Amino acid sequence: MTFPTTHPALSRALSERDYKDATPVQLAVVAEEAEGRDLLVSAQTGSGKTIAFGLALADTLLEGAQSMGPAGDPLALIIAPTRELAMQVQRELSWLYHYAGARIVSCVGGMDPGAERRELARGAHIVVGTPGRLRDHLERRALKVSALKAAVLDEADEMLDMGFREDLQFILETTPAERRTLLFSATLPKAIVTLATHYQKDALRIATRSDTVGHADIEYRAIRIAGNKIERAVVNLLRFMDPPSALVFCNTRNAVRHMEAQLTERGFACVALSGELSQSERNHALQALRDGRARVCVATDVAARGIDLPSLSLVIHADLPNDAQVLQHRSGRTGRAGKKGVSVLLVPPARRRRAEEMLDRARVQASWGNAPSADDIRKVDHERLLKNPLLVEPGTEDDLAMADELLKNHGPRELAAAFVKMYRAGLPAPEEIEDEPFQRDSRPKDHKARQDGPREKREFKPREDRPREERAPREDRGPREERPRPNRTEGPQHPRTHERGAAPGQMENGVWFRLNVGRERNADPKWLLPEICRQGELTKKDIGAIRVFEMETLFQVAPEAAPKFTILVSERKKGGVRISPALDQTGETTAHAREVRDDRPREDRPREDRPREKIAHGATPGDTPPHKPGFKKKFGDKNKFGGKKFGKPGGGYKGKNPRPKPQA
């Protein structure tokens, strides 16, 4: 054992759990210089912080005794940000202090507060809870902290991010001043350091997390994928890597529901975790992951904090994290306790630079590439099938007897084919993802050289000192050539339209399509372009000119993408925005003809082309339409106020009922 200063009762529990090697943070908190002092600990997720502060509290709680003695008012208070983390801490400390006779009570949101008050009344040595529920018990005087010896803040940075600052301050100010305070956090932002200076005395700062290198047990990968193919990439990653359990992160509850439904439909054993679930539903979902009944968990950031799954080896960021700290907390769900893990970021092209900056701030190196293709997955399936344990492990006598019976009726080739069919039937089908050219940087190759190299300074000269080119006089240069005027076009002038990208004809052999919306429905390329890309699974580079008319919109599609685009948009049966091939592939449809400007006087135009007039009932065309009685007719002119200001003597309202003037 590498826990030389550990209490005998705790050493026995560690030995039974086969704990042979202590992590750096566990060794640091039991060192001689940390004994009895306040601690400010920075350690990466999955480094054994729960066991670390359990070991650090042993001398303070036991004080040399063999056991804790009868339970009364709590001696230690441990605060965690989420229900799952608090329940996990309770489970870990329960087996660690089992032989010390400690009674540990949890107080978390979502559970019956009356049952928790009854448990507290029976006495407890250690109380573990979330900030809101602990404050509620303190205000109701169900939790008594007069005998408290130590307080622990686990994942303090997350609690501040979740808005628990006031609750933490209330709890710490209620506890005795001579208590011992231990603060554990994955990162130490300025807010955490400020909190430590207010509520800790002569704290020993322990930093086992490197500031220059990320989590060594986690491999980071970044995959460039189109925004409309995120779900396909998640499916192929799960199929290609085939992890024992995986965690897929989304930013919103709606995204979690949608992703969970899509994965379940494709045949994955999947559960969801979000803030809208009750505590019972969350417990069932986590238990399904631990039992192996589910292998994929789709969750939001808040719901997944504190989840500790020993078999979790893959984390997929379907939606990019908001910042580098969230990335570290998400990825820290894997690669725990010395095990290896993989963290994969799905990066749309438009957010590539943001992802690179976030990885730089997190101080991690990610390998960039494309999502696994269907062919890659079929190749891996072939290799796994040949190494299937069913083919290697020897069968029982009953198995061999059944095999002999099958061989009598079927040939070996037929039986092998049936085995392959049964193997593939239990696997979700891979998704087809077209490989897109991956460019790490679209800037020219010599950009950095030009940027980093010294710039040549120009010598400024006054205008009169600059040499003027020797040009021949105007009369000696011959006739001026006729140059094409871009603003002059032959034929009728079309009305101005909203255009994006190249002018018509600039995309060579572009195929024209028609949208059933125009200016009358506020059509704009800003929202039409994403809709076109979503329906036809295209990117911006596949779209040419977009021309918005009064009743419809025309746009170009690259010729290589047009056949598949036509099939996809034709399969769409519902929806307000419908796409169909244009009638005229030159882009000059009847919409142009209808919108040709007619400069003739109104009386010379055909009657059907004249703008319609709104004629009141009983009037003849050309008469001034009678208007409804407005403000003037009902109440008089709104500017006719008698006197200087409205409401002062002599300032009566000279409308329908003017104020009478005072008699002399």
Does the pLDDT of residue 220 top 90, yes or no? yes
Q: How confident is the model at residue 418 (pLDDT cuts 50, 70, 90)?
A: confident
DSSP 8-state assignment for residue 627: P
Q: For tokens 């020797």, name the residue.
A: 470
CA distance linking residue 236 with residue 374, whole number of Å: 7
Residue 235 pLDDT grade (very low, low, confident, very high; cuts 50, 70, 90): very high
CA pair distance 320, 251, nearest whole angstrom: 8
List pLDDT tens digits, range 569-592: 887 766 677 888 887 665 554 444
pLDDT at 326 over 60: yes
Under the banding of pLDDT at 50, 70 and 90, the label for residue 34 is confident
- pLDDT band at residue 601, thresholds of 50, 70 and 90? low
Weakest mean pLDDT among 117-121, 311-315, 319-323, 638-642: 638-642
Range name among 34-43, 370-379, 404-413, 468-477 with the lowest pLDDT average: 468-477
Q: 17-21, 134-138, 191-195, 610-614: which range is least confident on average? A: 610-614
**The residue to which tokens 């997944």 are assigned:** 304
pLDDT band at 185 (very low <50, low <70, confident <90, very high): confident
User: Mean of the pLDDT values across residues 516-544?
Assistant: 84
For residue 324, the model assigns a pLDDT of 84
180 close to 216: Cβ distance less than 8 angstroms: no
Query: Positive or negative, the Cα torsion across 27, 30, 35, 40?
Result: positive
| Matching residue, tokens 């010390």 | 100
- Which has the closest alpha carbon to 124: 89, 175, 74, 87? 74
**Rounded to an integer, what distance in angstroms lies between the CA atom of residue 412 and that of residue 33?**
71
| Among the ranges given (156-165, 347-356, 460-469), the one the predictor scored with the smallest mean pLDDT | 460-469
Task: Report d(CA 143, CA 134) in Å as an integer.
Answer: 8
For range 252-279, the mean pLDDT: 87
Give the mean model confidence (pLDDT) for residues 418-439.
75
Quick check: 152 pLDDT over 90? yes
Of the pLDDT bands very low, low, confident and very high (cuts 50, 70, 90), residue 4 is low
Mean pLDDT for the chain overall: 77
What tens digit of pLDDT does each residue of 380-403 get? 988 888 888 888 778 788 888 888
127 half-sphere exposure, CB direction, 13 A CA radius: 34
Residue 361 banded pLDDT, cuts 50, 70, 90: confident
Higher local confidence (pLDDT), 652 or 100: 100
Strands 204-207 and 218-224: what pairing?
unpaired
For residue 106, the cross-strand partners are 128
Share of the chain above pLDDT 70, in %: 73
Considering only residues 164 and 485, tell me which one the structure prediction assigns the higher pLDDT. 164
Give, in order, the Cα–Cα distances in Å from 562 to each of 433, 512, 529, 556: 17, 9, 15, 9
Contact 332, 249 (CB under 8 A): no
The DSSP-derived string for 378-441 is: HHHHHHHHHT-HHHHSPP-HHHHHHHHHHHHHS-HHHHHHHHHHHHHHTSPPPPP-------S-
* Model confidence band, residue 463 (pLDDT cutoffs 50, 70, 90): low
The pLDDT of residue 301 is 81
Cα–Cα dist 423/417, whole Å: 10
Q: What is the band of 90 on the pLDDT scale with cuts at 50, 70, 90?
A: very high
More confident residue, 214 or 192: 192
Helix, strand, coil percentages in the chain from 3-state DSSP, rounded to 5: 40, 15, 50
- At residue 149, the pLDDT reads 93
pLDDT tens digits along 531-558: 888 888 888 888 888 888 888 899 899 9
pTM value is: 0.56
Model confidence over 94-133: pLDDT tens digits? 999 999 999 999 999 878 899 999 999 999 999 999 999 9
